A and B are shown apart, each in its own frame.
Chain A
Amino acid sequence: MRVDSLAARTQNHKQAPAIVFDNVSLTLAGLPLFDRLSLTVVGGQCTCVLGPSGCGKSTLLRLISGTTSFGYQGTITIDSGAEKNKIAWMSQNDLLLPWLSLLDNILLGAKLRHEESAALRRQARHLMVEAGLAGYEDALPATLSGGMRQRGALLRTLMEDRPVLLMDEPFSALDALARMKLQDLSARLTRQATVLLVTHDPMEALRMGQTIVVLSKRPAQVKSVVALAGIPPRNMDDPEIQANLSGLLSQLMDESDR
């Protein structure tokens, strides 16, 4: 695929910001979810967060996006100076609006901000071609497969043109093949943005991440940080994947057994 030319969409940001968690504590329903958690997400890279279910991976993203009213102690900073609209969001649920065509869904952000223009429509159509969605511009989401819908959601996220992408298990509802394809597309199109991707799949983390953060059980602490050298998406037979997979798996097994 000739997608790399379009990665420019997210490369406008000269330096994508880092995200810094400093001594963040959060208690939910009397139980500590985070206890003085400190973590730095490197700017302009894809960081994957792994951890046992219920350890607060998704909450981490929601604290950054400000979509929760949870009161937490400590600070979370996205250090990119004064730039305002920094964040785009993608979740497991594609959240496509069933009453809008795929193209209109991809342009949703512009529509909601009254910014829709012919140039943006062209850009969206162009992205659709790259993502193998050409010819489906006018299709309603209900008529599309899960993989196509999630590709639409990815394009909608990219059209936001934000330096920080928060992805909450974005591919976990897909079958294996669709997931692999979408991981490739996503990794290529989001290069140079700061991507924080939460997943429960070590293989996904190894294919997509430049840094992998493993969280422990509640209250979540950073158990280990793995830095990978190559540029994602990595092939399944990439030596880095082979070298790290069993280590990551055993760490996760330890956490879920505890």
Chain B
Amino acid sequence: MKAIRLTLLGGGLLLLWQLLVLVTDAPHYILPGPLPVLYAIISHWSLLLHHLQTTLTEIILGIILGSFLGVAAALTMTLSPLLKRWLLPVLVISQAIPVFALAPILVLWFGYGMASKVAMAVLIIFFPVTSSFYYGMQRTEPQLLELARIMDGRPLAIMRFIVIPSALPAFASGLRVATAVAPIGAVVGEWVGSSAGLGFYMLHANARMQIDLMFAALALLSAVSLLLYFIIDFAMEKLIFWDKKGIRQ
């Protein structure tokens, strides 16, 4: 059922795109239709694939590192109220700096290679993961904590059995947001300075007025982002196995 709905939705959007091209009568160098873009994808497949690999690696490394750091920061703040008082303001202040404005600096520091793009993705992902996980842990049912205290529970065991599982649904929504925004970080990083990746390739195609290739790169990027989102979504559903609606009688 879900598959049929998604197919219909995708088909509908493509149809809308084609209609837009027909109605506005836009020239192909402004808005190419779906078919020329599909043709561009097929004809430049190996080149696109090469750049896709670079961008995908940046995104995945960004997600892994960003969520790892985010989880570590959230755990640190939960376990140590002292560190929390220092870390939390830093975290909030860091969000006041527009991450995109940091891109040139990151390229300056980490170079034209993959590192600066991964750093960019990490910076974007870090905050949603940290804040969702941290506040999820803060919102642990107080009655459960009281029960654990009456039971003389050890602090780390309380974290493991009560606090962390309580926060997993919130963490999952943070990670979903992070997955959706991670490609932005990678692509912006590539625009600022790089020699590979779909972002780089888009700029390259734009400079040579190969608009259909720009759209081809964009379409691939969207497809990959969607795929990543669905994978994370699926993994989170498995992780939070008790939260299924069907389990309730």
Contact = CB atoms under 8 A, between A and B. Distances in A.
B151 interface: yes
Contacts of B151: 88, 108-109, 112-113, 160
Interface residues of B, number: 23
Interface in B139-173: 141, 143-144, 146-154, 157-158, 161-162, 165
Given A91-B143, A111-B161, A140 B149 contact: no
A5 interface: no
Contact of B242 (A93, A95, A140): A140
Contacts of B165: 97, 99
B157 A113 contact: yes
B152 A113 contact: yes
B46 interface: no
Interface residues of A, number: 24
A113 B146 contact: no
Contacts, number: 59
Contacts of B5: none
B150 A93 contact: no
A79 B248 CA distance: 44
A222 B149 CA distance: 30
A143 B248 CA distance: 6
Given A98-B242, A112-B157, A85 B248 contact: no
B249 interface: yes
A95 B147 contact: yes
A97 B147 CA distance: 11
B144 A143 contact: no
Contacts of B243: 98
A85 B146 CA distance: 14
